[in-house]
Amino acid sequence: MGNMVDQFQPAMAIFCLLILFTLDFTVAQTGVCYGRDGNNLPSPGDVVALYNQNNIRRMRIYNPDQPTLQALRGSNIEVILGVPNTDLENVAASQANANTWVQNNIRNYPNVRFRYIAVGNEVSPLRDTSRYVRFVLPALQNIQIAISNAGLGNQIKVSTAIETGVLGNSYPPADGVFRSDVTSYLNPIIRFLANNGAPLLVNVYPYFSYIGNKGSIDIQYALFQSDGITVPGGIRYQNLFYALVDATYAALEKSGGSSLEIVVSESGWPSAGGDSATLDNERIYITNLIQRVKTGTPKRPNRPIETYIFAMFDENQKGGAESEKHFGIFSPNRQPKFQFSFN
């Protein structure tokens, strides 16, 4: 009996490790953002079918489009649902308004697997979204109360999405800090997230960091193809994505948010329309990103990074620079622009 127990324990330990690894990679599963700024995109039903066909188990949508929510019913796809910036003032104005928003867009869809609510996207005192700054925290609070009152607080976390332009310093990553002109906006949000056990959503784009700093950043480093660099302090970084994520973690620690997890709510590379925007660069970036997020950063090793690729489709009506129209991993005809695998 003693020998059987001795043999059983290592076998059981290996079995438990296998379960842990399986869970880790399930948690790490990469999602894809479904933007809808195009006049030639597939129907929501066809989009959900395309997610399922390609084993994409997580989706980010930017507003509560009712046909999309209806198409998601019973799909088992986990969803980040956005409260658009244009809705923030209304949701912040009263608890009743937030309750109505949650009723119409969450509670009316009990068989949709909502994971996070993103209350605002890239609202910042530094951007053209600055007019929404004063609404974000009260909107977060009102949506959180509505979610809690609906008995959904354990399964749906309420957060907001920021971009890395709010960092005042990002190199070396350990010296990451938020700009002094955004801390009065961000610090109360960080406290809110910490108090509610919610992650911070961060849009992370090595592409934009690279084209803005070509003199000091190697494109191979931005595309996950570098041997890496050793930063001051002796830590080695294989890629710019890890460095940006860790710089944001360092900034959170300096702002009372050391307990927060980062969810990368957007990351991608354009295939056309801009500097270094080629189909081959997009392919290299996306295929490497899918693999690299499984292993964690130097600051958070062995902790997969929940990440959402931007975007599902090229969007011909998207505003901003021409490159913004070319971030899709699929063309609007539902054909993949290059080979990739979410398995």
DSSP assignment letter at 330: B
322 is catalytic: no
Contact 273, 321 (CB under 8 A): yes
Q: How far apart are CA 281 and CA 76, in angstroms?
A: 32
Q: How far apart are CA 339 and CA 56, in angstroms?
A: 14
User: What crossing angle do the helices spanning 133-149 and 183-196 adopt, rounded to 10°?
Assistant: 10
What b/e readout covers 133-144, taking b as 16+ CB neighbours within 10 angstroms? bebbbbbbbbbb
253 is catalytic: no
Cα–Cα–Cα angle for 272, 276, 280, nearest 5°? 70
Neighbours of 323 (CB within 10 A): 20
- Active-site annotation holder among 78, 163, 266, 282: 266
Concatenated DSSP letters of 130-150: GGGHHHHHHHHHHHHHHHHHT
The amino acid present at 322, given as its one-letter code, is E
Q: How far apart are CA 9 and CA 3, in angstroms?
A: 10
Concatenated DSSP letters of 73-100: TTS--EEEEEE-GGGHHHHHH-HHHHHH
CA distance to 3, 135, 160, 239, per residue, from 242 (Å): 46, 31, 21, 6
Cβ neighbors of 146 (< 8 A, separation 6 or more) are 95, 98, 99, 101, 102, 103
Virtual torsion, Cα 186, 94, 34, 309, nearest 10 deg:
20
Picking from 242, 241, 239, 219, the residue whose alpha carbon sits closest to that of residue 229 is 239
Annotated active-site positions, please?
A: 122, 266
